[in-house]
Structure 1
């Protein structure tokens, strides 16, 4: 595994740990999820999924199958985030961060795709 892949996975792991923990802050995030049009239980579920993605990204440094799955999960999460921000008509600046994270997730997935297929 190359340095670039390890660096991206560490960054994504840390970012998604933070994203996941923040979802449990009921006051601020509850208002955000109301604005998004999502129920409050989805806030908790998405936080757990983001923390799982973070753990997979960090563990993926030593296990390329975990890296591949983290890239897939992160990519799916970010596609959902982008569609949500488009749906609520957020400005382009707010959509840029999920797009960058989506690209990073897709890089990790592309570098490790064969491990999902079992090759």
Structure 2
């Protein structure tokens, strides 16, 4: 195959690879911003800020739920910043944010349901972008699980 023919075969992949890199960099920035957002939200719940207490009182949920959700938000925020855990964190945050959207729709302020719903889209994109690292994490966990068990004869 001539050099020109080989170049023409790889040329269409170059813009695609560039777009993927730009997308990954953009999502890496979004992970940091989302981690900060969730971190601030978590701290408000964990320190029982008046606004968080008032929201949980309006829902009829106790302070235990407030602390639990704050802990989940903080764990998700921190895990988003760890490359190997970011994909799993994003998957878990889909559930948390979908729940937040449903709670806003049914118990609190329906117009405020838009924000967590939009964040669900973002975390799905993050999970998709980090899918190779998530596979790597699961392979690592499976490998450790096999080596930790004693051999049976």
**Residue 59, structure 1, aligned to residue 82, structure 2:** yes
Structure 1 stretches of 4+ with a deviation exceeding 3 A read 114-119
Name the counterpart of 1:71.
Answer: 90
CA gap 1:89/1:32 in 2 versus in 1, 3 angstroms: closer
How many residue pairs are counted as aligned between the two chains? 114
Q: TM-score, normalised by structure 2?
A: 0.67
Q: Does 1:110 align with 2:128?
A: yes
For 1:1-119, list aligned pairs within 5 A: 2-26=24-48, 27-60=50-83, 63=84, 66-88=85-107, 90-92=109-111, 94-117=112-135, 118=138
Question: Normalized against structure 1, the TM-score is what?
Answer: 0.84
1:44–1:89 distance in 2 versus 1, CA, 3 Å: closer
**Could you list the runs of 5+ residues in structure 2 that have no partner in the other structure?**
1-20, 140-153
- Distance (whole Å) between structure 2 residues aligned to residue 50 and residue 36 of structure 1: 18
Alpha-carbon separation, structure 2, partners of 1:85 and 1:102: 14
Deviation at 1:23, TM superposition (A): 0.6
Whether the aligned pair in 1 keeps the contact of 2:41 and 2:70 (CA below 8 Å) is: yes
- SS of aligned partner of 2:61: coil
